[in-house]
Amino acid sequence: MAHPRGYLCLVLHAHLPFIRHPEHPEFLEEDWLFEAMIETYLPLLAVYERLVNDSVNFRITMSLTPPLCEMLVDPLLQERAERRLESLLELAEKEVHRTSRGDMRKFHDAACMYERKLTLALDLFQNRYHRNLVAGFRAFQDHGVLEIITCGATHGFMPLIKTENAKRAQIQVAKINYEKHFGRLPRGIWLAECGYAPGVDRHLADQGIRFFFMDAHGLLYGKPYPRYGVFAPVYTPNRVAVFARDIQSSRQVWSREEGYPGDFDYREFYRDIGYDAPYDYIRPYLHSDGVRRNVGLKYHRITGVGIDLGKKEPYLPDIALERAATHAGNFMFNRQHQCRHLFGVFKKPPILVAPYDAELFGHWWYEGPDFIEFLSRKIHFDQSEIKMITPSEYLEKNKSLQVIEPTASSWGDKGYNEVWLNASNDWIYRHLHLAESRMIELAQRFPVSDGILRRALNQAARELLLAQSSDWAFIMTTGTVVSYAVRRTREHIYRFTRLYEQAMAGMIEESLLNDYESKDSIFQEIDYTVYA
């Protein structure tokens, strides 16, 4: 493809908060990681492997956030994930038998599909990647088809971090962690929640970050107006490139009314055999409390708008797969027309930036990984107008960019800070901002340290970073597991405060420090002087 009419930059933002509870034999919120591994990360790796094996020249950009990477390489969580995957495969094998007769026969194709996919997933996890999915993604980056970017150290929402030192720490800690996992420095970053405020780009430039992403209005409301709108990156005043989201591409996937995932033939997320199967049968696959919950095997399709869960019709995998192929073709067709029009206007190939949460593909939209595979194959084999590209590749081809000052923005509801600062969560910031100031005080008071004091100061930095995770404020707003988000915020602030007081008094309680280090073990490479 010598001269495409336009480029598609598909971006998958893979993130989960750091959840690790060695003090409990099982912990409900750790399921978030296991579900994402089984339903999103392993299926995506399988897609990448098939595409590479078939010499499909695809390009995808993924952010793998530092907390996610740290969890994916953690031996305790790897062991627990393996147990979960083995248990789910055992259940799927039983389901193949249970659905082979009588009224359950209508679910047999779905049961066989689960057994087949889970068998592949377990083989990939154990034998191909030896439990380490970070190594799997790294291999595809090294192969040249995947660009992995970083994110703020703990997905901290940059516009609401008060001090410049703490903003810098989020980025610098992330850079060092990325190098540990991927053997090179990151070229790009996903700012958590696409949260941008003027001046953040200076910290990115200082750490060698070449590009980041933002929502459309952050660029369109910038000064001066971007001459190519959101269809070309620009440089910020500190010479960091910024790519903005294409609204049309996003709407086709995200929108509840217009988006593909709402198609009636796709799998229904909210009906699961954790609730439908006989209790004595499903009990061994629930948590120790015995409460019915989703286990991941779902036998019904969306069926229609507003249809009661009890009236959903059986899920038919082959038909759903056909729909994914059709939707991939439709998505490509629309991007072709979009690029054709924009090329005529701009007289240069536009870039369409299509960013999504990675967990949409597989976890929420079960057929999402199939959609990505079909799309990649269709773009490679069936046309020559558009080409998949990574941000780094685009910048190599286009070195001269307009300079503008983007405006403060996010991709949250209403486009600014309200999701992370409202009546449900505003109380956290007085504590976070005080902790920031105290961490800077510690780093400046103890520019050199060793032994137990250094351990305590490094742990204090970990506790502050974990408290800053945007996930906690987000959960408080959405009203899901609010008690857990409140607990995590309070625990990290409390642990930080204890360490601060003990360090200032010169009396570190080693048993307390050991406990904190065991529970909050993220970033073993951390150096607290990043806050100085």
Encode pLDDT of 339-371 as tens digits. Answer: 999 999 999 999 999 999 999 999 999 999 999
Residue 360 to residues 12, 15, 44, 507, Cα–Cα distance (Å): 9, 11, 12, 48
Q: What is the mean pLDDT of residues 59-81?
A: 98
Of the two residues 256 and 512, the one the predictor is more confident about is: 512
d(C-alpha 263, C-alpha 260), whole Å: 6
| Structure-token pair, residue 154 | 């703990």
Q: What percent of the chain has pLDDT over 90?
A: 98
What tens digit of pLDDT does each residue of 429-449 get? 999 999 999 999 999 999 999
Q: Taking every pair of C-alpha atoms in the chain, what is the biggest distance, in angstroms?
A: 74
Q: In this structure, which amino acid lies at residue 26? A: E
Mean pLDDT of the chain, nearest integer: 97
pLDDT for residue 254: 81
Quote the crossing angle between the two packed helices 428-445 and 482-505, to the nearest 10°: 30
Are residues 390 and 59 in contact, defined by beta-carbon separation less than 8 angstroms?
yes
Phi, psi of 151 (to 5 degrees): -150, 165
Residue 405 DSSP one-character state = B
Q: What is the mean pLDDT of residues 139-154?
A: 98
Q: Cα 250–146–31 angle (5° rounding)?
A: 70
The residues carrying an active-site annotation are: 193, 357
CA 431 to chain centre: 27
What tens digit of pLDDT does each residue of 488-510 get? 999 999 999 999 999 999 999 99
Q: What is the mean pLDDT of residues 139-159?
A: 98
Strands 351-357 and 60-64: unpaired
Instruction: Please say if the pLDDT value at position 257 is more than 90.
Output: no
Are residues 32 and 84 in contact, defined by beta-carbon separation less than 8 angstroms?
no
d(C-alpha 420, C-alpha 440), whole Å: 24
pLDDT for residue 86: 98
pLDDT for residue 491: 98
Phi, psi of 407 (to 5 degrees): -95, 160
Are residues 518 and 501 in contact, defined by beta-carbon separation less than 8 angstroms?
no
**What domains are there in the chain, each with its CATH number?**
50-73+141-260+315-414 (3.20.110.10), 421-531 (1.20.1430.10)
pLDDT for residue 2: 64
Q: What is the mean pLDDT of residues 458-465?
A: 98
Q: Which helix (H) or strand (E) holds 323?
A: helix 317-346
Reported confidence tier of residue 255, pLDDT bands at 50, 70, 90: confident
Q: Which long-range contacts (CB under 8 A, 24 or more apart) does 131-138 make?
A: 131/78, 131/81, 131/82, 132/72, 132/73, 132/78, 133/37, 133/41, 133/42, 133/45, 133/72, 134/64, 134/69, 134/72, 134/73, 134/181, 134/182, 136/45, 137/45, 137/62, 137/64, 138/181, 138/182, 138/183
Which residue in the block uniquely carries the two structure tokens 């082979």? 100
Instruction: Please say if the pLDDT value at position 181 is more than 70.
Output: yes
Q: In this structure, which amino acid lies at residue 407? A: T
Q: What is the mean pLDDT of residues 152-161?
A: 98
pLDDT for residue 102: 94
Q: What is the mean pLDDT of residues 409-414?
A: 96
pLDDT for residue 256: 67
Q: Cα 329–333–334 angle (5° rounding)?
A: 120
d(C-alpha 240, C-alpha 5), whole Å: 25
